[in-house]
Structure 1
Amino acid sequence: MALKTFVKISNVNNLSDARYCSGMYVNLMGFSLEKDNEYYVNPTAFKEITDWLSGLEYVAEFSNSHPAQILETLAQYEGFSFIQIEERLHLPMLKNTSYALIYKYTLTNEDELDELLDYAITLKENNVMLNLEAESAMEITPVVQEKIKNIAAKCELLLGFGFDDKNIEQLLDSTPLKGISMKAGHEIRPGIKDFDELADILETLELEG
């Protein structure tokens, strides 16, 4: 079984999310490694979760840590292939590490897409994937979709907003996205979790056969 597109899941912090997403053949699974983040996963928990998984790669997610602190933190973990950061100035400092890089950008308005279009070429030249999210429930209007399409033509773009199980296939068919990104969340209680929205999208993306 496989999915119709590349999928990254962020904020994984429990075995229920991890095993479900692994079973749905997502490509990347992200874990927050900053202690002040509500989804923080310590080295012991990370090992306990990932020991149950196979066939996917892991992303170490950081919001504002300095590259030196990022690398110091990663020395306590085994198994990460990617680093995701939000500080653009930190990308060059991590370029020559053994990790692939993801730049997460959170939109506050659609005009920022024009600036990102110019920056997309730099991301492509440095083999950095762009994870594009939005601060509020930003809709993908025809204008926004055209801008996303232009960015996706210039770099590897993971779209993290504006889709559901009803429109995801149309977006994938009409836009050269690398794939999509979605967020997991806390368990309701250990072993019990509401997967509805995430599951609806993943099930829509399942390939037959």
Structure 2
Amino acid sequence: MSDKKQFREPPCFISTARHDAHTVDLLNNLFKDSARGGYSDIHIEDTDEGAVIRRRHNGIMSEYSRISRAQSRDIQDKIRKKSSIPPSELQAPRDGRMFLEVDGRVVDIRVNIYPIRTGHSIVCRLLDQNNASRQLEEVEMTPDVRREIEKIMFGPEGMLLVSGPTGSGKTSTLYAALNKLNTPERKIITVEDPVEYRLEGLVQG
């Protein structure tokens, strides 16, 4: 099944009311610019004065824009609808998922919305499905580190612990390692929460 067949609705935010064109433009530009720029996540946080939009790139947060509380509510409504999070469930953390199309590729976005003192915090994690096929040789690391990883991967037993801040390359490293190990001669079972990318030939759970 191709990535585009995953879409059950238009692969972008769309206007559904007369007053929401500016919000739709902001959302589409925000997510497309973030995907093109390699940002790992987007944060929309209500404050006492309004709301702030921030993004993370290579583990470092930076401010994108400040908006009014009214526009923050409109943004939350749009994101809740697109990620199938009920608009009435406002008092507890909620998780969802949505897909956007950027330059012909699918961006898988994991959404978390949770209440805070000033309103809500929205965190959107951007996953580029093209990363699912990345090879270990394509992940930036020193030759010594790569040799140690491969030594553990192909050893008869052992454990590889990958840690670091958001956007540091943990997921890319682990999936690249799976791609290297994934051959017809092996059966591989994963335990993931959540499954970030779907790989053929593996049993993912």
TM-score (norm: length of structure 2): 0.29
TM-score (norm: length of structure 1): 0.28
Which of structures 1 and 2 has the larger relative contact order (alpha carbons within 8 angstroms, sep 6+)? 1
| Structure with max Cα Rg | 2
Q: Compare the two structures and name the one with the higher strand fraction.
A: 2
